[in-house]
Amino acid sequence: MVVRNNIRQIRKEKGIKQIKMAEDLQVTRQTFTAIEKNKYNPSLELSLKIVKYFDMQFEDVFILEEESNGK
């Protein structure tokens, strides 16, 4: 299973700059870029902070997908 996120889309819809959100959540912009590109999964603590920052439900921000490898 793969974890995906809608962070970039949600952030843009809310008009939040990436650098502002990274600073507010006390991570680097580079870390945040990797998270948005699904190259890095945030810790549980950071995931919960992101969900709270957006004031949304966890499943609206993060998605657990089945891997499509023919199984």
* CATH number reported for the structural domain that contains residue 39 in this entry: 1.10.260.40
Q: Is the per-residue pLDDT at 70 higher than 90?
A: no
Q: How many CA atoms lie within 13 A of 13 on its CB side?
A: 7
Closest to 54 measured CA to CA, from 25, 30, 26: 25
pLDDT tens for each residue of 12-33: 999 999 999 999 999 999 999 9
Mean pLDDT, all residues of the chain:
93
pLDDT category at 69 given cuts 50, 70, 90 is low
Q: Is the per-residue pLDDT at 41 higher than 80?
A: yes
> Within a domain: residue 35?
yes
Residue 66 or residue 41, greater confidence: 41
Conformational region of residue 5, where left means phi above 0, alpha means psi within -120 to 50, and beta covers everything else: beta
> Within a domain: residue 37?
yes
Nearest 5°: the CA angle 56, 11, 13 is: 90
Instruction: State the pLDDT at residue 37.
Output: 95
> Within a domain: residue 27?
yes
> Within a domain: residue 70?
no
Domain count across the chain: 1
Look up the domain containing 28 and give its range: 2-65
